[in-house]
Structure 1
């Protein structure tokens, strides 16, 4: 596995651990619908959280959250909409980004709630 893939996988594991510590219930990992993949679908109270995890080894080229592009957001919204409709869920939906910088100096996790809105 390429080094960047390993870093991404480790980032997702750290994000799941982080969310569980914050008392989120993890419902799905790497949920796929058509061309979209939602890294984590979790629930807390009556809110469904779709979390996109971005992991980098350095912020040198930009913050991890800056790498979530409009086309990806559009695909995430479509996938989560499908998930909610298929499950006939009556929940509020929130889109979060979990930005992680992990390197030899340590690990920094930033949880950005309501990272983007959809219409």
Structure 2
């Protein structure tokens, strides 16, 4: 596995552990439907939380959350719509971003709740 892929995998694992420690229940990791993917799908209380995970070695040039572009947001929303319909989820949906900066031994984690809203023209 390429080194950057391993870093991303480590970041997703650490993000899932973080959410569990905060009382979330993980439903899916790397859920796919065709070309669409959701990094983490969790819930807490009556809210389905779709989490985009961004992992970087450093934030010198770009903060990780800045990599979540409008195009990426639209893809996440489309995938979430497919997920909610497939599993008939009755909960409200929230979109979060978790950023991890560092390496697998020591990540700085930031959890951005309600990071974005679904655009009207997906």
TM-score computed with the length of structure 2 as normaliser: 0.92
- The 1:99–1:82 alpha-carbon spacing in structure 2 relative to 1, beyond 3 Å, is same
Alignment-derived partner of residue 43 in structure 1: 43
Report the Cα offset of residue 104 of structure 1: 8.6
Deviates more, 1:15-24 or 1:34-43: 34-43
Alignment-derived partner of residue 62 in structure 2: 62
Report the Cα offset of residue 103 of structure 1: 3.4
Q: Which runs of 5+ in 1 are unaligned?
A: none
Q: Distance in 2 between matches of 1:24 and 1:31?
A: 17
Alignment-derived partner of residue 100 in structure 2: 100
1:85 paired to 2:81: no
- Superposed CA deviations along residues 4-29 of structure 1, whole A, max 9, x for unmatched, are 10100000010000000001000001
- Superposed CA deviations along residues 95-118 of structure 1, whole A, max 9, x for unmatched, are 000000013993200000111101
Alignment-derived partner of residue 18 in structure 2: 18
Q: Distance in 2 between matches of 1:104 and 1:85?
A: 35
How many residue pairs align between the two structures? 119
- The Cα RMSD (Å) is 1.4
Q: Distance in 2 between matches of 1:104 and 1:37?
A: 23
Runs of at least 4 residues of structure 1 off by over 2 A? 103-106
Q: What is the SS of the residue equivalent to 1:115?
A: coil
Q: Which runs of 5+ in 2 are unaligned?
A: none
